[in-house]
Amino acid sequence: MGRCFIQLVSGPAGSGKSTYCTAIQQHCATLGKMRRRTVHVANLDPAAENFGYDLAFDIRDLITVEDVMEELGLGPNGALIYCMEYLLQNMDWLEDELDKFDDDEYLVLDCPGQIELYTHAPIIKRMIDQMTQWGHHRMASVFLVDATFVCDAPKFISGSLLSLSAMIALELPHVNVLSKVDLVDDAEVEKILDCESASVLWQREEYNMA
């Protein structure tokens, strides 16, 4: 089979990755006849529970955090890292799943949110490198940040650094997306985004606290 377009969706836990994947799938399915396309969504988070999208494939068919915690006595984070390392040892499973898609198809991968998978234990980067060796060169990274963080200068700076870390670690074309924007005031978000530097943003925060 061919090598489809792939979008890897990452971001902190609770930032709305699964909701974003659902929205992309539903939006592309409801476009006009000439523009409509099928978007497949797959889950690569072994700790995930509920989805609003139709699953193309699911890492939980290979391994789950719950099973690892029960059998090995690990905590949630340790079990997640174990699951992702297990995936790296069984990449033939992922290769078989990816081979089911044609060149013109679009696949969204809903990835785990723990940042250590991208930095301290670069498991996702190793997975991407293997996918590249298989011929998957049409990949992009989408990083979600909760828009409510934007209105809080320390959280915004933290989210920006997390996004930068992911962009550098994955070495893919990268897009940042603000999620949950309906929960914040548009004017407040624009004020933050218009700041030219972190120092200017921090000065604004100190002024507001004075």
Instruction: Give the model confidence (pLDDT) of 26-67 as tens digits.
Output: 988 888 776 767 889 999 999 988 888 889 999 999 999 999
**Residue 16 binned pLDDT confidence (cut-offs 50, 70, 90):** confident
The whole model's pTM is what? Answer: 0.85
Tokens representing 155?
């959280």
- Which pLDDT belongs to residue 180? 85
Question: What is the mean predicted confidence (pLDDT) over 79-91?
Answer: 94
Q: H or E segment at 199? A: helix 198-209
Measured CA to CA in angstroms, residue 156 lies from 48, 104, 119, 170 at distances of: 26, 37, 19, 21
pLDDT above 60: residue 210: no
- Which pLDDT belongs to residue 201? 63
Cα torsion 70, 75, 78, 80: sign: positive
How many beta carbons lie within 10 A of that of residue 193, not counting itself? 11
- Which pLDDT belongs to residue 160? 84
pLDDT above 80: residue 188: no
- Which pLDDT belongs to residue 172? 94
- Which pLDDT belongs to residue 60? 95
Q: What percent of the chain has pLDDT over 90?
A: 50
Cα torsion 43, 47, 53, 54: sign: positive
- Which pLDDT belongs to residue 57? 95
pLDDT digits (tens, 9 = 90+) for 93-105: 999 999 999 888 8
CA distance linking residue 179 with residue 65, whole number of Å: 26
pLDDT digits (tens, 9 = 90+) for 139-179: 999 999 888 877 777 787 888 888 898 899 999 999 999 88
